[in-house]
């Protein structure tokens, strides 16, 4: 059970991090998330922290847990191909998740786990302050947009995300998660349309 004190501690810790390096260290030293004890590694982020494109996924899987980097398994390979299709890769994209530790057996993160990680994720977005934020999959989309809608309704719709008064609104779009696309390749057509829209937004 996550208590209010746990969440307040996470918020106070995260808010005090004024660089990405400090935030990474704070997440590594944060012991209140029980997933830490069942995982091998913290999975904080990969890519360029000066990028204008930030991608947020759900949670690390087995490969990510082993290596300590996000999106390095099969779904990650597809994400790399999706980015390549719009001339992006990990040198000009910043990639992270709403959960920093692997949920056992790749189960869906619980609301408590999401709530506890959220202050760090929010600070992460503030510090990266990307031009475009892509939310990969339903968990990232619902968490960041504070929505209960399903991904089929959410995907492809642009939002002006006001994550904090400290930074301007961010152009934000949910897309299907690459793991979902591996299971349902017929949905790639919609994703291609979303990717073109992302490419266009990045060039404005």
Segment near ligand URA (CB under 6 A), from 19-27, 31-39, 73-81, 120-128?
Answer: 73-81
Site membership for ligand URA, residue 71 (CB under 6 A): yes
Distance CA 62, CA 106 (A): 8
Q: Is the dihedral of CA 147, 141, 113, 182 positive or negative?
A: positive
Per-residue contact string for residues 139-178; x = within reach of ligand URA by CB under 6 A: ----------------------------------------
Beta bridge partners of 133: 54, 172
Closest to ligand URA by CB, 111 or 200 = 111
Secondary structure class of 111 (helix, strand, coil): helix
Alpha-carbon torsion, ordered 15, 41, 64, 131, to 10 deg: 10
Q: How many residues bind ligand URA (CB under 6 A)?
A: 14
E-strand ranges in the chain read 46-47, 53-57, 93-97, 132-136, 159-161, 170-175
Position 97 contacts ligand URA (CB under 6 A): yes
In this chain, which of 33, 75, 121, 133 binds ligand URA, going by CB under 6 A? 75
The residues binding ligand URA (CB under 6 A) are 57-61, 64, 70-71, 73, 75-76, 97, 137, 179
């Amino acid at each position: 059970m996550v208590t209010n004190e746990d969440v307040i501690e996470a918020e106070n810790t995260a808010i005090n991090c004024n660089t990405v390096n400090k935030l990474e260290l704070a997440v590594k030293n944060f012991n209140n998330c029980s997933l830490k004890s069942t995982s091998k590694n913290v999975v904080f982020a990969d890519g360029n922290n000066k990028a204008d494109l930030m991608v947020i996924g759900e949670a690390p899987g087995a490969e990510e847990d082993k290596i300590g980097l996000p999106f390095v398994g099969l779904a990650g390979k597809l994400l790399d191909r999706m980015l390549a299709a719009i001339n992006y890769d990990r040198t000009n994209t910043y990639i992270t998740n709403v959960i920093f530790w692997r949920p056992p057996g790749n189960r869906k993160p619980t609301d408590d786990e999401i709530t506890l990680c959220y202050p760090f994720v929010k600070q992460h977005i503030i510090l990266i302050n990307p031009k475009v934020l892509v939310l990969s999959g339903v968990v990232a989309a619902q968490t960041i947009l504070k929505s209960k809608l399903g991904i089929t309704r959410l995907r492809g719709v642009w939002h002006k995300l006001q994550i904090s008064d400290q930074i301007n609104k961010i152009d934000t779009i949910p897309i299907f998660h690459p793991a979902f696309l591996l299971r349902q390749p017929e949905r790639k057509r919609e994703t291609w349309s979303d990717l073109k829209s992302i490419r266009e937004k990045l060039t404005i």
